């Protein structure tokens, strides 16, 4: 957890004074339902990718060729019955397979989902909830794509019994979740619950996560990914608070590029402890979402976000 993560939370806390019910596009409809596919990719998103590849348009086709050669686009599967994180850890195969499931879903493969869904029975050790929050969302995204775009019927699919993938989401993944105000636990929990709820068509779980987004004091880290799922469901949390998340991205970008920014040392740090730092340069990953949403899609002037995106 870096100081830039903490300052992003400072902006997100402003959301606590706003009603999400007034901000969601469909929030006022009594018969509102979740709309599949609706996690990181909508049907239109996938059609745009598909058409670009079929017509061999650039950059779609070249990126697809590179994507297909990536080690995580292969379908080797190593499911385990019990996952453990802590003094004894065996979750590396789970971490690898979640990414592989997501990438294979884009390439029409389903064996990884069925294999883990019918094998995994328990998750033990320390920080297990963090493990599931960080990695489990890719499984949910893979399953969402395959169910609605690839005509996949999961093995033993009943969430209320059996050992199918939906059962694992309810009883092994979702049960690990308590929205707590510690370091990156808060927002990563919200992000994962939004994805799980959309896949499971669980409006109660979805609303629970939205309420936590509004009120959890440590809701900031990974906010862009969470808001992307809400966007797929017809909501727009990017524009709330006069583009509040955009202001957060500007602040974080300026700080990580080693410029001076105002900082209140009394701001609650959510018990964050810097691990394995400090680092010589900012991480180059997970910055494109806000750059695209604000600079590209909305056409807003974003010099600091653009500089951070292009300079890493």
* Mean pLDDT confidence for 127-134: 76
The answer as to whether 76 is a domain residue is yes
Q: What is the pLDDT of residues 96-110, one digit of tens each?
A: 777 777 777 776 655
| CA proximity to 189, closest of 146, 134, 268, 149 | 134
pLDDT for residue 300: 93
The answer as to whether 126 is a domain residue is yes
**SS3 label, residue 123:** strand
Full-model pTM: 0.63
The answer as to whether 21 is a domain residue is no
The answer as to whether 155 is a domain residue is yes
Q: Which helix (H) or strand (E) holds 51?
A: helix 43-54
pLDDT for residue 154: 65
How far apart CA 291 and CA 57 sit, in angstroms, is 23
Question: What is the bridge-based pairing of β-strands 82-85 and 122-125?
Answer: parallel
Two tokens at 300? 């807003």
Domain containing residue 140: 35-176
pLDDT for residue 299: 93
Q: Is the pLDDT of residue 127 over 60?
A: yes
The answer as to whether 308 is a domain residue is no
Query: Which residue stretches of the chain are H helix?
Result: 3-12, 43-54, 60-69, 92-105, 111-117, 128-149, 165-168, 185-200, 203-215, 223-232, 240-256, 288-290, 303-310
| CA proximity to 5, closest of 205, 183, 259, 191 | 183
Q: How confident is the prediction for the chain on average, in pLDDT?
A: 72
Q: Token match 């056409």: residue?
A: 299
The answer as to whether 230 is a domain residue is no
The answer as to whether 268 is a domain residue is no
pLDDT for residue 285: 64
* Mean pLDDT confidence for 292-298: 90
Q: What is the pLDDT of residues 3-21, one digit of tens each?
A: 444 444 443 443 333 333 3
The answer as to whether 181 is a domain residue is no
DSSP 85: E
Q: How many domains would you assign to the chain?
A: 1
| CA proximity to 258, closest of 184, 183, 308, 310 | 308
Size of the chain in residues: 312
């Amino acid at each position: 957890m870096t100081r830039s993560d903490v300052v992003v939370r400072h902006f997100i806390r402003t959301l606590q004074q706003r009603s999400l019910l007034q901000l969601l596009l469909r929030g006022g409809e009594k018969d509102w339902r979740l709309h599949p596919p609706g996690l990181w990719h909508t049907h239109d998103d996938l059609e745009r990718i598909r058409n670009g590849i079929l017509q061999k348009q650039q950059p779609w086709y070249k990126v697809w060729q590179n994507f297909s050669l990536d080690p995580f686009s292969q379908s080797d599967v190593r499911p385990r019955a019990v996952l453990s994180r802590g003094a004894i850890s065996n979750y590396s195969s789970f971490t690898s397979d979640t990414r592989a499931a997501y990438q294979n879903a884009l390439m029409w493969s389903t064996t990884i989902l069925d294999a883990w869904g019918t094998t995994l029975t328990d998750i033990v050790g320390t920080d297990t909830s963090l493990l599931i929050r960080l990695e489990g969302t890719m499984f949910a995204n893979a399953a969402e794509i395959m169910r609605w775009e690839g005509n996949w019927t999961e093995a033993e699919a009943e969430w209320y019994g059996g050992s199918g993938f939906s059962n694992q989401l309810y009883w092994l993944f979702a049960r690990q979740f308590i929205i707590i105000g510690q370091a990156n636990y808060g927002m990563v929990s919200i992000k994962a619950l939004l994805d799980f709820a959309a896949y499971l068509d669980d409006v109660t779980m979805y609303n629970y996560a939205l309420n936590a987004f509004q009120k959890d004091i440590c809701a900031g880290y990974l906010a862009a990914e969470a808001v992307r799922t809400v966007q797929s469901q017809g909501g727009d949390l990017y524009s709330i608070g006069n583009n509040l998340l955009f202001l957060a991205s500007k602040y974080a970008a300026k700080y990580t590029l080693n410029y001076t920014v105002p900082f209140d040392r009394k701001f609650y740090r959510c018990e964050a402890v810097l691990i394995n730092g400090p680092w010589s340069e900012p991480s180059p990953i997970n910055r494109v979402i806000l750059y695209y949403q604000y600079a590209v899609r909305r056409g807003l002037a974003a010099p600091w976000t653009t500089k951070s995106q292009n300079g890493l």
